[in-house]
Amino acid sequence: MRRRHLLGSLLLAPALTACFASAGGDSSDQGGDGSRLRVALAFPPAENLSPYGADATLLSRLGVTEGLTALDANGAAAPALAESWRRENDRSWLFTLREATFQDGSEVTPAAVAAALTHATEARPAPAALAGVTLKAEAAGDAVRVTTRTADPVLPLRLSSPNLAVFAPKAYTAADVDPVGTATGPFELTKVTGSSSAALDRFDDYWGGRAQASGVDARFVADGTARANALRTGQVDIAEAIPVAQAAALDRATLRKTATTRTTSLQLNTESGPFKDPKLRAAAREAVDGSALVKGVFEGYADPGAGIYGPAVTWAEGKRVRPTGRAAAARPNGTAITLATYDNRPELPEVAQVLQQQLQKAGFKVTLQVREYSRLESDALDGKFDAFVGARNSLVDTGDPVGVLASDYTCDGGYNLAQLCDKEVDKAVADADLVSDTGERQDAALRAEAAILGTDAVVPLAHQSIIVGVGTDVRGVRLDPYERTLVGTGTRR
């Protein structure tokens, strides 16, 4: 099984309980020479700010990068660097570009965009947005033609992924992509200081209008209490992922709660170790009480786990399929397991501690490991733990509900923490990926979800809301259920 790093009619548009919103004011008033924004982010760069892995969302949340398309409030593909597109046939789409400039001063041309997409297709490990997809991009007059090996009815959604952001030609080398001063967004990355901080200046030639803030000073602060304290003491203007435990101690006027498509789950290693036995996986599932986690850990900022897709994806609730074929639970009888999680999301260690107690009560002997995410990811993807607690936004990679299933639960999946390789699951996901009609694709995705849950490779625990801390003098923060955006042209203080 290959291991890859992580990286959301013909266009699926899942209705969400929360839409993009600008916290504290209208973001449409562009221009001005506002102060620099001070932002605390939860995740330090894990891959040298490569756009092809988890760091891609760091770049998009800071307003550095964008792709041909974006996701609108309803999850549909919206114009970005491409102002329009049309489907030429089952496998070919034509994207017409708007007039735009790279941050190094060069023009965004069809040839440059085609080269950027081609570079993404050649990246190894492959970006999560391209899991199971082979595409070719080429200039076609004032447009870019994108052709896929097989029909891809959600290609415009796929191209909205932060993994497929477009950079100037000089950004690309044989080894990696340098995002400093080479992207197209409203803020230009000018300096990166290891995994501790980054500086960004306003890009005055941004096609979408001049940003109101003159720049952004970003700090990467893995400790959630430290982020909350930085907001409380006025050291930062925006702090993402405020811990639930810290929310009560902050001024309510500074808290913004946003429903997301993020699910906290227990992933069980199906390839090696005790959980290779489906009967022990069933025992672990039966031992878990998600309601206790929602009440005791998330303090109401979550809903009990219902599936891979949570209640923020409203169409899933009425269509969910009951899993079948689950194994009967065996007695653990002191089976020793290693349970791992990371502390960038402050609730996760507490979730893991409660799970440790629940699993031990059921008869498992549990050793807990907690690390910072960048020091944990490779081991998790290589299957070095028996169980893993993680928080995953089910629509962040492509906006397509089938995409996360292919990436996370198929034999060739790029973010397969459960190491799952099941022919029935692979077939269900492949069948879903062939469906174009919106409603039928949703139905097929939920049948595939049921097949995955039937293996007990994953136990959904809670569907989270996120809390963003925003200073009372800050306006225009972009609250996004897909967690792709945070700072934009209208964000200011």
**Is there a domain that residue 317 lies in?**
yes
CA dist., res. 298 & res. 241, Å (int): 12
Number of domains comprising the chain: 1
Number of residues that this document lists for the chain: 493
- Residue 464 is inside which H or E element, if any? strand 458-470
CA angle 172/175/180 to nearest 5° reads: 45
The tens-digit pLDDT sequence of the chain (493 residues) is: 434 333 333 333 333 333 344 455 443 344 446 799 999 999 999 888 999 988 999 999 999 999 999 988 777 889 999 999 999 998 999 999 999 999 999 999 999 999 999 999 999 888 888 877 899 999 999 999 999 998 888 899 999 999 999 999 999 987 789 999 999 999 999 999 989 999 999 999 999 999 999 999 999 999 999 999 999 999 999 999 998 889 988 999 999 988 788 899 999 999 999 999 999 999 999 999 999 999 999 887 888 999 999 887 878 877 899 998 999 999 999 999 999 999 988 889 999 999 999 999 999 999 999 999 989 999 999 999 999 999 988 877 777 888 889 889 999 888 899 999 999 999 999 999 888 887 888 899 999 999 999 999 999 999 988 899 999 999 999 988 888 999 999 999 9
**Is there a domain that residue 382 lies in?**
yes
Quick one: which of 360, 333, 329, 350 has its CA closest to 461? Answer: 350
CB 159, CB 146: distance < 8 Å: yes
Domain coverage including residue 456: 261-464
Quick one: which of 482, 486, 268, 485 has its CA closest to 394? Answer: 482
CB 356, CB 339: distance < 8 Å: yes
Q: Phi and psi for 421 in degrees, rounded to 5? A: -140, 95
CATH of residue 340's domain is 3.10.105.10
**Is there a domain that residue 36 lies in?**
no
3-class secondary-structure state, position 42: coil
**Is there a domain that residue 58 lies in?**
no
**Which amino acid is residue 192, in one-letter code?**
V
3-class secondary-structure state, position 275: helix
CA dist., res. 481 & res. 290, Å (int): 22
Which tokens is 313 given?
Answer: 């994806």
**Is there a domain that residue 12 lies in?**
no
Q: What is the pLDDT of residue 10?
A: 30
**Is there a domain that residue 351 lies in?**
yes
Alpha helices by DSSP H, listed for 276-321, are: 278-287, 290-296
Which tokens is 15 given?
Answer: 């209705």
Write the DSSP symbol of residue 92.
E
Bridging pattern class, strands 197-202 and 215-220: antiparallel
**Is there a domain that residue 206 lies in?**
no
Bridging pattern class, strands 477-479 and 82-87: unpaired
**Is there a domain that residue 82 lies in?**
no
- The sign one gets for the Cα dihedral 261, 264, 266, 270 is positive
DSSP string computed for 329-388: PPP-TT-EEEEEEESSSTHHHHHHHHHHHHHHHHT-EEEEEEE-GGGTHHHHHTT-SSEE
3-class secondary-structure state, position 44: coil
Quick one: which of 448, 445, 394, 400 has its CA closest to 420? Answer: 448
